[in-house]
Amino acid sequence: MLDIGFPELLLVTLVILLVFGPERLPEVLRTLGGWIGQARRSFTSLKTEIEREIGADEIRRELHNSRILEEAKKVREEIEGAGAELRASQKDVDDLMRRRMAALQAEDQAVEDAQPDTTSSASDPKVSAPNDATGADAEAPEAGPTDADETDSETEPSAPHPPRESRS
């Protein structure tokens, strides 16, 4: 702080004694002591107030950080919950898709089992061809759809059909 040694203090005391005299010296020292005490108290209160503000700032920062951490924890929990729900939904969808695929495969198998085997009937000599010489056993081939059968229900019957493109 101040580098004041014993000789400097002795010199200051001697000057004060000469200026104020021995009669007023105790009163001056009392007043000087009161001012020094008041200055120390002011300095101490200022110091504690600054420390309190710094501490309050730190506390505010810590509270802010703790709020952020709490919010982050809530968000993390929400995300984990949504992930669990998503995994459960995905499992349900997978199970549903497996069941549906099994049902479709069973339907395909049933359709294949219900259809007559065309390769074995073509090689079977007991089965007669449609162009049989007698023509009595042959059935007329079923007529396929014609252009007249394929008219759209939305168009008027009197409207001409647009030309159809050939499919190759």
Tens digit of each residue's pLDDT (9 = 90 or more) over 16-62: 888 988 899 889 889 989 999 999 999 999 999 988 888 878 888 88
Residue 73: the pLDDT is: 92
The answer to whether position 33 is within a domain reads yes
For the cut 80, the answer to whether the pLDDT of residue 168 exceeds it is no
Residue 22: the pLDDT is: 87
For the cut 70, the answer to whether the pLDDT of residue 156 exceeds it is no
For the cut 70, the answer to whether the pLDDT of residue 145 exceeds it is no
> What's the rounded mean pLDDT across residues 105-120?
80
The answer to whether position 118 is within a domain reads no
Q: What are the residues whose beta carbons fall under 8 Å from the beta carbon of 138, sequence distance 6 or more?
A: 128, 129, 130, 131, 132
The answer to whether position 123 is within a domain reads no
The answer to whether position 105 is within a domain reads yes
For the cut 50, the answer to whether the pLDDT of residue 155 exceeds it is no
Domain of residue 35 covers: 21-111
The answer to whether position 150 is within a domain reads no
End-to-end Cα, the chain, rounded Å? 106
The answer to whether position 157 is within a domain reads no
Query: Where is pLDDT greater, at 151 or 17?
Result: 17
How would you write 39-55 as a 3-class SS string? HHHHHHHHHHHHHHHHH
The answer to whether position 79 is within a domain reads yes
- CA pair distance 95, 101, nearest whole angstrom: 10
The answer to whether position 50 is within a domain reads yes
Is residue 161 a contact partner of residue 147, using CB atoms and an 8 Å limit? yes
- CA pair distance 66, 60, nearest whole angstrom: 10
pTM above 0.75, yes or no: no
Q: Which amino acid is at 21?
A: G
For the cut 60, the answer to whether the pLDDT of residue 150 exceeds it is no
For residue range 59-101, what is the model confidence (pLDDT) as tens digits? Answer: 888 888 889 989 999 999 999 999 999 999 999 999 999 999 9
Q: How many domains are contained in the chain?
A: 1
